[in-house]
Amino acid sequence: MRDVAVVGFAQRQMEEFDGSPTCVELLVPLFAECYEQTGWTRRDIGFWCSGSSDYLAGRSFSFVQAVDAIGVIPPVNESHVEMDAAWALYEAWLKIQTGEVDTALVYGFGKSSAGTLRRTLSLQLDPYTMTPLWPDTVSLAGLQARAGIDAGLWDERAMAEVANRSLTDAEKNEYAIRKGGSSVEELLARPMYADPLRKHDCAPVTDGAAAMVLAAGDRAREVCDRPAWITGFSHYVDPISMGTRDLTRAPSAARAAAAAGTEGVEVAELHAPFSHQELVLRRELGLADDVVVNPSGGALAGNPMFTSGLIRLGEAAKKVWQGDASRVLGHATSGPALQQNIVCTMEGRN
């Protein structure tokens, strides 16, 4: 395997982006930030890969115009996944591993506010036996949360602790759209929303975009004092069925963590759009109690669809760049109730 590192990262998150669903105008400044961080121009990028969703945008081929933000004369080596951009990063990492290219810029974008997000996501379900009932994302997460409460694996207090820590940490995150912790008691005193979930247990609807730069070997060292070297990158998927799955578990996350190797991880950025999902993930990833989880505030502070996973990886990489940690983990999820999971571990080297 080639040594590949994250050497650039930029993001934007907002409650409501007033621009077009192609998000071109959001991407242009993000790419500029990546160029500034690396000293590169678009011509130094060997491969481009993006993640986005037609249904989020409400039209076919919503990603097509996004390539304008790159500037594509001369044409570029480029691909797209209909997944969170964390998986686009995986495709780019693969491309570098084949030896075809040495550098890649990966981006994700999505305007969740264009439609009714929790309803739109019902279209991810089994189209014959589920979607016609329009089970919304929050309801499906509620079923999962209750399953864990009933099984005695967590309780409302544990969920509130996650939310409180996230919202407190988010105060230091300039991109967070929901922030401000108080106390577990205060959060528990707030009204139920989708029993057993309170609003702060659910990620806010968020628009946004993110971009990340990968580079191999010396190309990484040339542009970054302390690159975040990828030491493990793995992803798996579980069946979608809410009935046959044990909702308190996420075997695909456990498998991805085992394959990526989580030993020695000091900081983990977990993509948990609902508070109880962080509890599921901590267990499945086998994270020790002293691992710092979601210092950015995590998805509960901002969850731009198709980008939030990549942002988790970016937030983790930043900890390496800044010298705050030597070994970090970024995680992304997709599908209802943690169906699909990807884990990327990174390390700084001296």
Partner 1 sequence: MAKQPAAIVGIGQTHHRAKREDVSMAGLCREAIDRALADANVSLDDIDAIVVGKAPDLFEGVMMPELFLAESLGAAGKPLLRVHTAGSVGGSTAIVAASLVQAGVHKRVLTVAYEKQSESNAMWALSVPVPFNMPVHAGAGGYFAPHVRSYIRRSGAPTHVGAIVAAKDRQNALRNPYAHLRNPDTTVESVLASQVLWDPIRYDETCPSSDGACAMVIVDEDTAAASPNPAWIHGTVMRSEATTAAERDQVNPQAGRDAAAYLWKQAGITNPLEEIDAAEIYVPFSWFEPMWLENLGFTAEGEGWRLTESGGTAMDGTLPVNCSGGVLSSNPIGASGMLRFGEAALQVRGAAGEHQVDGARRALGHAYGGGSQFFAMWVVGADKPSN
Partner 2 sequence: MSRTLSAPVTVAFDYTRSTGPVLGRFLTGLREKRVVGVRTSEGRVVVPPPEFDPVTHQQVDDFVEVADTGTVTSWTWVPEPVKGQPLDRPFAFALVTLDGADVPMVHALDVTSPDQVRTGMRVRIRWAEERVGAITDIACFEPTEDAAPGTAIKLGDLGDNPVTGVITPVELDYLYAASPEESSFYRAIAEGRIIGQRCPTCGKVYVPPRSACPADGTPTTDEVELSHTGTVTTFCIVNVPFLGQRITPPYVSAYVLLDGADIAFLHLILDIPAEEVRMGMRVQAVWKPREEWGTTIENISHFSPTGEPDADYDTYKQHL
The contact set with partner 2 (CB under 8 A) reads 18-22, 24-25, 27-28, 31, 42, 55, 58-59, 67-73, 113-116, 118-120, 122-123, 126-136, 138-147, 150, 192-197, 239, 241-244, 247
Name residue 214's beta-bridge partners.
Answer: 6, 104
Among 19, 36, 65, 322, binds partner 1 (CB under 8 A): 65
Nearest approach in angstroms of CB 230 to partner 1 is 13
Is residue 204 within 8 Å of 302, Cβ to Cβ? yes
Contact of residue 247 among partner 1, partner 2, none (CB under 5-8 Å per partner type):
partner 2
Nearest approach in angstroms of CB 110 to partner 1 is 12
Nearest approach in angstroms of CB 288 to partner 2 is 30
**CA geometry: angle at 188 spanning 187 and 192, to 5°?**
100
* Interface of this chain with partner 1, residues 253 to 272, rule: CB under 8 A: 255
d(CA 286, CA 282): 6
Stated length of the chain? 350
Contact of residue 90 among partner 1, partner 2, none (CB under 5-8 Å per partner type):
partner 1
Contact of residue 260 among partner 2, partner 1, none (CB under 5-8 Å per partner type):
none
Number of residues that bind partner 1 (CB under 8 A): 62
Contact of residue 304 among partner 2, partner 1, none (CB under 5-8 Å per partner type):
none
Burial class of residue 52, CB neighbours in 10 A (0-12, 13-18, 19+): buried
Q: Which is nearer to partner 1, 31 or 154 (CB)?
A: 31
Asked if 246 touches partner 1 (CB under 8 A), the answer is no
Tokens of 83: 């997944």
Tokens of 246: 């044990």
Is residue 332 within 8 Å of 309, Cβ to Cβ? yes
Is residue 335 within 8 Å of 342, Cβ to Cβ? no
Is residue 1 within 8 Å of 202, Cβ to Cβ? no
Q: Which is nearer to partner 2, 69 or 170 (CB)?
A: 69
Contact of residue 136 among partner 2, partner 1, none (CB under 5-8 Å per partner type):
partner 2
The DSSP code for 99 is T
Site string (97-136) toward partner 1, x via CB under 8 A? xxxx-------------------xx-xxxxxx-xx-----
Tokens of 81: 């996944």
DSSP string, 218-280: HHHHHH-SS-EEEEEEEEEE----TTTS-TT--HHHHHHHHHH--TT--EEE---SBHHHHHH
Please report which helix (H) or strand (E) contains residue 207, including its range: strand 205-216
Is residue 141 within 8 Å of 197, Cβ to Cβ? yes
Contact of residue 87 among partner 1, partner 2, none (CB under 5-8 Å per partner type):
partner 1
Residue 61 φ then ψ, to 5°: 55, 40
Contact of residue 106 among partner 2, partner 1, none (CB under 5-8 Å per partner type):
none
Site residues, partner 1 (CB under 8 A): 1-2, 48, 53-55, 58-61, 63-65, 67-68, 72-83, 87, 90-91, 94-95, 97-100, 120-121, 123-128, 130-131, 234-241, 251-252, 255, 334-336, 339-340
